[in-house]
Amino acid sequence: MNHELPAIIQGGMGVGVSGWRLARAVAQAGQLGVVSGTGLDAVMVRRLQAGDLGGHVRRALDFFPLRETAERIVARYYVPGGKAEGKAYLPKPMPCAKPSRWGEELLVAANFVEIFLAKEGHDGPIGINYLEKIQLPTVPSIYGAMLAGVDWVLMGAGIPKSIPGVMDRLARGESATLKLNVAGALPEEEFGTTFDPAAFMGGTAPLLARPRFVAIVSSATLAIMLARRSEGRVDGFVVELSRAGGHNAPPRGGTRLNEAGEPIYGPRDDPDLESIRKIGLPFWLAGGFASTSALARAVLAGAAGVQVGTAFAFCEESDLDAEIKDQVLKSSLAGDLRVITDPVASPTGFPFKVVELEGTLSEQVRYEQRRRICDLGYLRQAYRTESGTLGWRCSAEPVEDFVSKGGAIEETTGRKCLCNALLGNLRLGQVVADGSVEKPLVTSGADVLAVTRFLAPDQMTYSAQDVIDQILPDIIEEDPSQAPIPAAVEATQIPVA
Ligand SMILES: Cc1cc2nc3c(=O)[nH]c(=O)nc-3n(C[C@H](O)[C@H](O)[C@H](O)COP(=O)(O)O)c2cc1C
C-alpha cells in the first residue's frame, strides 16, 4: 500500500449525505474525507432557515473573505430557532449560464462553508465531489471550495475533460469558462459559462493551491482518454463498478432489463483493470469494497485503495435523516431490504440505485401523489431553442412544460425529481402548495444489504471510525502484508465482494 495516498476514500454522496461532519470524522481517522458538492447552495440556505443548529454555518461564514456577502446571506436566510414547520423555505436563484452576482455568491460561499467546516480542527486532507452532468454551478463551486483550501476534487457522471484546466486557472486567479453540453446545438455553435475570480473578489484574486483531481470512471477507455486528452493534469481515478450507490454507468452495448426492470450488467461491464493500471496513475476501486479482503484484492489488482460510500452513508456522522438510517438498518437486519437499479428514475438518464422504503418516492403511490414542479433545477439539461438561444428542461418537470420545450414525452415516464427528494433525505424537504413536505428517495449501493456488520451487539448505530476499523485494522495499516489476500485471486481479476 502506498502510504502517501489514502487507502480509503470516503465516497462523495449527494445531496448532503456526506456533509462536513462525515468528511471531518474520516479525515481525522487518517483517510480521505469527501463532502458532496452537489446542491450546496440549497443545503446552506435551508440549514440557515432551519435554525443553523450549533451555529456552524454562521461560524464558517465568519471566515468567508467577502464580509458583506456573508452578512447578506445570514440576513436573508437565517431564522433563529428555525422556520415554522408548515412554512416553505425561501427560494434561491436557479442555476443558469449567466448567473447573477447573488447566485454566484451563494455558490462560492456554500462550498467555502462546507470545506471550512470539514477541515476545522485537524490537518487531514478533505475532498469535494461533483457531478459532471451538473455543469452550471461547477466553476464558482470549485472556486469556493478552493478558497477554503480543499485538497482533492473528484468528479464523476460524465467526461470531466476540462475540469483540471479550470482548476489550474482558478488557482492562478484567472477567469475560467466551462463549455456547456447543449442538445441540438449546431456544429459551429459553442455555449459556455464563465466565472472570473478577480471580478468576484472585487479586484485581485488570491493565488490558491491547486487541489488534486480524480476522475470517477467505470471503464478503462474513459480513464485512458482522460489521462491523455484532458486539459490539465489528472491525478488519479476512482473506478466504479455497477454495485456502487448513487448513479451507475449504463451497461455497455445497450440496456436490456431483467424481470425486475433493472439493467442487466455482464462481463463486458467489468473495467479492464490491467489497462487502467498501465496508465500509471493511482486508482481506487468502488462498489462493494468495504471490507479488509476487498481492500486487499483491490491492492493486488494495482489499486491504491478503495472508495467506500454505502457503509458511510448509514453511519452516525452522515447527514442522512436519522429516522431513515434507523429504518434502513432495521430492515437490513430483518433481511427484508431491497435495492433496485432504476433505469429511469434519474432525469440524468443514468441508472440510479434506489432503496425500496416505506414513505419515500420508491413507493408508486407516493410518486403518483406528487405534483411535478421544477424549483431547484440542478438537473435541467441545456437545449438549443429554435431561435438559437439556450433553453433549459428537465424530464422530471411538469410533462407539458417539458414537451413544450421540445422534450420527448416518453422521456418523462417514471422520472423522479431528485433535487427535491434528495433534500428531503436530509429533513430539508420543501413544503409544497398543499402543505405537505417533499418526500425522500434514498439511494444506496447493494452493500446496504450487509451493512449491519458494522453494528456492535445490541447497538443500532455505528460510527465512521467503526467502518474504518473493520476495513483497515491496525495490523494491516502498519503491515499490509498481513492482509488476508485470497491465493486464487489474480491481479487482473475483478474483485468480487
Ligand atoms: C447515498 C449515496 C449517494 C451517492 N451520491 C454520489 C454522488 O452524488 N456523486 C458521486 O460521484 N457518487 C455518489 N455515490 C457513490 C459513492 O461516492 C461511492 O462511489 C459508492 O458508494 C461506492 O460503492 P459502495 O456504495 O458499494 O461503497 C453515492 C453513494 C451513496 C451510497
Is there an atom of ligand 1 within 6 Å of 445 CB?
A: yes
CATH architecture of 8-335+450-482: Alpha-Beta Barrel (3.20)
Q: How far apart are CA 374 and CA 95, in angstroms?
A: 12
Is there an atom of ligand 1 within 6 Å of 353 CB?
A: no
Is there an atom of ligand 1 within 6 Å of 12 CB?
A: yes
Is the CB of residue 410 less than 8 Å from the CB of residue 331?
Answer: no
Q: How many CB atoms lie within 10 A of CB 398?
A: 14
Is there an atom of ligand 1 within 6 Å of 286 CB?
A: yes
If pLDDT is split at 50, 70 and 90, which confidence band does 253 have? Answer: confident
Residue 367 has pLDDT above 60, yes or no: yes
Mean pLDDT of 376-391: 95
Is there an atom of ligand 1 within 6 Å of 18 CB?
A: no
Report how far apart the first and last C-alpha atoms of the chain are (Å, whole number).
Answer: 19
pLDDT at 477: 57
Residue whose entry in the numeric block shows the C-alpha cell 432489463: 257
pLDDT at 1: 52
Over the stretch 161-186, which tens digit does the pLDDT of each residue have?
999 999 999 999 999 999 999 999 99
Q: How far apart are CA 130 and CA 19, in angstroms?
A: 13
Residue whose entry in the numeric block shows the C-alpha cell 436530509: 426
Residue 440 has pLDDT above 50, yes or no: yes
Is there an atom of ligand 1 within 6 Å of 156 CB?
A: yes
Mean pLDDT of 96-122: 97
Nearest CA to ligand 1 atom 2: 13
Distance from Cα 308 to the centre of ligand 1, integer Å: 8
Which atom of ligand 1 lies at the shortest distance from residue 311's CA? 27
Which atom of ligand 1 lies at the shortest distance from residue 155's CA? 11
For the ranges 166-170, 251-255, 397-401, which has the lowest average pLDDT?
251-255
Nine cell digits for residue 7: 487507502
pLDDT at 53: 96
Mean pLDDT of 73-85: 98
The domain ranges of the chain are 8-335+450-482
Q: How far apart are CA 182 and CA 69, in angstroms?
A: 32
One-letter amino acid at 66 equals L
Distance from Cα 187 to the centre of ligand 1, integer Å: 35
Is there an atom of ligand 1 within 6 Å of 421 CB?
A: no
Distance from Cα 108 to the centre of ligand 1, integer Å: 23
Is there an atom of ligand 1 within 6 Å of 444 CB?
A: yes
Angle of CA points 285, 325, 35, to nearest 5°: 45
Mean pLDDT of 416-445: 96
Distance from Cα 62 to the centre of ligand 1, integer Å: 31
Nearest CA to ligand 1 atom 17: 11
Mean pLDDT of 316-330: 97
Q: How far apart are CA 95 and CA 114, in angstroms?
A: 19
Q: How far apart are CA 411 and CA 397, in angstroms?
A: 11
Is there an atom of ligand 1 within 6 Å of 6 CB?
A: no
Is there an atom of ligand 1 within 6 Å of 309 CB?
A: yes
Mutational test site, ligand 1, from 285, 310, 355, max ligand atoms within 8 Å of CB: 310
Residue 488 has pLDDT above 80, yes or no: no
If pLDDT is split at 50, 70 and 90, which confidence band does 392 have? Answer: very high
Tally of CA atoms within 13 A in the half-sphere of 130 that contains its CB: 27
Mean pLDDT of 249-253: 89
Mean pLDDT of 48-54: 98
Q: How far apart are CA 496 and CA 131, in angstroms?
A: 26
Is the CB of residue 154 less than 8 Å from the CB of residue 12?
Answer: yes
pLDDT at 255: 87
Calculate what percentage of the chain has a pLDDT beyond 70. Answer: 95
Is there an atom of ligand 1 within 6 Å of 288 CB?
A: yes
Is there an atom of ligand 1 within 6 Å of 208 CB?
A: no
If pLDDT is split at 50, 70 and 90, which confidence band does 249 have? Answer: confident
